[in-house]
Amino acid sequence: MKSYLLYGLLVMTVLALCSGCGPNLPEGVEEAYAALPKRLDYNIHVKPVLSDKCFLCHGPDAARRAADLRLDVPGFVDGDEILARIFSDDPDFVMPEAAAKIPLSDHEKAVIAKWIEQGADYADHWAFIPPERPEPPTVAEAEWNDHPIDKFIRRKQQARGFGFAPEADRDLLLRRLSFDLTGLPPTPAEIAAFESDRSADAYEKQVDRLLASPAYGERMATQWMDLARFADTHGYTVDRYRDMSPWRDWVIEKFNENQPYDEFVTWQLAGDLLPNATREQILATGFNRLHPQNLEGGIIEEEFRSAYVADRADVLGTGLLGLTLSCAKCHDHKFDPISQRNYYEFYSFFNNVDEAGLIPWDGATPPPRLDLPTERQDSIITFLREMEKKQEAGLVAVTEENKARAEEWINQEGYKKLPRTASLRAHYPLDNNRLINAARPAEKGKMDRKFSQSESPEMTKGHSGNGLLLDGDAWLDLYPVGVYSRDEAFSIEMWTKIPKDLKTGFLFHKGQGTRLHGERGYHLYLDTFGLELLMAHVNPGNSIVEFAETDVPRDEWIHLAVTYDGSSKASGYRLYMNGKELPTDVRTDDLTRDIIFHNMTDVIYKDVIEPGLQIGARWRGKGVKGTVVDEIKVYSRALSALEVMRSGNPEEARRLLAKGAAELSSSEKDLLRQYYFMVTLPAYQIAYKDLMATRSRLVDSMEQVKEIMVMREMKTPRQSHILDRGLYDSPTEPVETRTPDWLAPMPEGAPANRLGLAQWLFQPEHPLTARVAVNRYWLQLFGRGLVRTAEDFGNQGELPTHPELLDWLATEYISNGWDTKALLKTIVMSRTYRMSSKPVSEEQRLADVDNVWLARGPSGRLGAEMIRDNALAASGLLNDKIGGKSVKPYQPEGLWKMNNAVYEQDEGDELYRRSLYVFWKRTVPHPTLATFDVPNRNECTVRRQETNTPLQALVLMNDPAFVEAARILGSRITKAQNRDEAIREVFTYLSGRPPGEEEINLLRQLRKQEVDVFSDHPAKADGWLSAGYTRADPTLDPIEVAADAVLASVIINSDAVITKR
Q: What is the pLDDT of residues 159-217, one digit of tens each?
A: 999 999 999 999 999 999 999 999 999 999 999 999 999 999 999 999 999 999 999 99
Confidence of residue 1048 (pLDDT cuts 50, 70, 90): very high
The answer to whether the CB of 765 falls within 8 A of the CB of 772 is: no
The answer to whether the CB of 82 falls within 8 A of the CB of 100 is: no
**Predicted confidence (pLDDT) at residue 88 exceeds the cutoff of 90:** no
- Tell me which residue of 610, 613, 297, 617 sits closest to 455, measured CA to CA: 617
Q: Is 313 or 62 the better-scoring residue by pLDDT?
A: 313
Confidence of residue 605 (pLDDT cuts 50, 70, 90): low
pTM: 0.91
DSSP 1045: H
Cα dihedral across residues 618, 623, 626, 629: positive or negative: negative
**Cα gap 997→995, rounded to integer Å:** 7
Confidence of residue 549 (pLDDT cuts 50, 70, 90): very high
The model's pLDDT over 811-854, given as tens digits with 9 standing for 90+, comes to 999 999 999 999 999 999 999 999 999 999 999 999 999 999 99
DSSP SS3 for 447:
strand
The terminus-to-terminus CA distance of the chain in angstroms comes to 66
> What are the φ and ψ backbone dihedral angles of 207, each rounded to 5 degrees?
-60, -50
**Cα gap 802→786, rounded to integer Å:** 6
Which has the minimum average pLDDT: 591-605, 646-660, 885-899, 1011-1025? 591-605
The answer to whether the CB of 366 falls within 8 A of the CB of 356 is: yes
Amino acid 22: pLDDT: 44
Q: Is 1039 or 39 the better-scoring residue by pLDDT?
A: 1039
- How much is the average pLDDT of 985-1011? 96
- Tell me which residue of 743, 840, 790, 917 sits closest to 218, measured CA to CA: 917
Task: Please give the sequence-ordered ranges of beta strands (E in DSSP) within 565-676, or none if there are none.
Answer: 573-577, 580-581, 585-589, 614-616, 628-635
Tell me the three-class secondary structure of 671-685, residue by residue: HHHHHHHHHHCHHHH
> What are the φ and ψ backbone dihedral angles of 171, each rounded to 5 degrees?
-65, -45
Angle at the Cα of 209 (from 204 to 215), degrees rounded to 5? 135
DSSP SS3 for 953:
helix
Please name the residues in contact with 491: beta carbons below 8 A apart, sequence gap of 6 or more: 561, 562, 563, 564, 633, 634, 635, 637, 638, 639, 644
DSSP 918: B
The model's pLDDT over 642-661, given as tens digits with 9 standing for 90+, comes to 999 999 999 999 999 999 99
Confidence of residue 512 (pLDDT cuts 50, 70, 90): confident
**Predicted confidence (pLDDT) at residue 10 exceeds the cutoff of 90:** no
The model's pLDDT over 853-869, given as tens digits with 9 standing for 90+, comes to 999 999 999 999 999 99
**Cα gap 930→944, rounded to integer Å:** 11
The answer to whether the CB of 638 falls within 8 A of the CB of 471 is: no
Confidence of residue 14 (pLDDT cuts 50, 70, 90): very low
> What are the φ and ψ backbone dihedral angles of 131, each rounded to 5 degrees?
-70, 140
Cα dihedral across residues 1029, 1033, 1037, 1041: positive or negative: negative
**Cα gap 164→856, rounded to integer Å:** 6
**Predicted confidence (pLDDT) at residue 452 exceeds the cutoff of 70:** no
Report how far apart, in Å, the C-alpha atoms of 187 and of each of 174, 192, 874, 988 are: 10, 9, 8, 9
CA dihedral 235, 239, 240, 242 (to 10 degrees): 20
Amino acid 78: pLDDT: 62
**Predicted confidence (pLDDT) at residue 15 exceeds the cutoff of 50:** no
Count CB-CB contacts under 10 A for residue 1009: 12
DSSP SS3 for 526:
strand
Find the helix or strand (DSSP H, E) in which 978 lies.
Answer: none
**Predicted confidence (pLDDT) at residue 2 exceeds the cutoff of 60:** no
> What are the φ and ψ backbone dihedral angles of 1003, each rounded to 5 degrees?
-70, -35
Report how far apart, in Å, the C-alpha atoms of 851 and of each of 449, 661, 682, 890 are: 68, 99, 86, 37
**Cα gap 700→591, rounded to integer Å:** 14
The answer to whether the CB of 1059 falls within 8 A of the CB of 860 is: yes
Confidence of residue 741 (pLDDT cuts 50, 70, 90): very high
- Tell me which residue of 929, 933, 930, 926 sits closest to 891, measured CA to CA: 926
**Cα gap 1034→720, rounded to integer Å:** 69
Amino acid 451: pLDDT: 63
Amino acid 789: pLDDT: 97
Count CB-CB contacts under 10 A for residue 947: 11
Across the chain, mean pLDDT equals 93
- Please confirm whether the linkage preceding 540 is cis (ω < 30° from 0): yes
Q: Is 23 or 83 the better-scoring residue by pLDDT?
A: 83
**Cα gap 313→326, rounded to integer Å:** 8
- Exposed (0-12), middle (13-18) or buried (19+): which is 736, by Cβ within 10 Å? exposed
Q: What is the set of domains in the chain, with CATH numbers?
A: 2-123 (no CATH), 422-638 (2.60.120.200), 958-1060 (no CATH)
Which has the minimum average pLDDT: 2-6, 282-286, 424-428, 919-923? 2-6
- How much is the average pLDDT of 405-429? 94
**Predicted confidence (pLDDT) at residue 5 exceeds the cutoff of 60:** no
- The residues with which 474 forms a beta bridge, in sequence order, are none
**Cα gap 650→440, rounded to integer Å:** 25
**Cα gap 953→1054, rounded to integer Å:** 9
DSSP 586: E
**Predicted confidence (pLDDT) at residue 641 exceeds the cutoff of 50:** yes
Task: Please give the sequence-ordered ranges of beta strands (E in DSSP) within 594-660, or none if there are none.
Answer: 614-616, 628-635
CA dihedral 756, 762, 765, 766 (to 10 degrees): 80
The model's pLDDT over 528-545, given as tens digits with 9 standing for 90+, comes to 999 999 999 999 989 999
Confidence of residue 1 (pLDDT cuts 50, 70, 90): very low
**Predicted confidence (pLDDT) at residue 669 exceeds the cutoff of 60:** yes
**Cα gap 773→818, rounded to integer Å:** 10
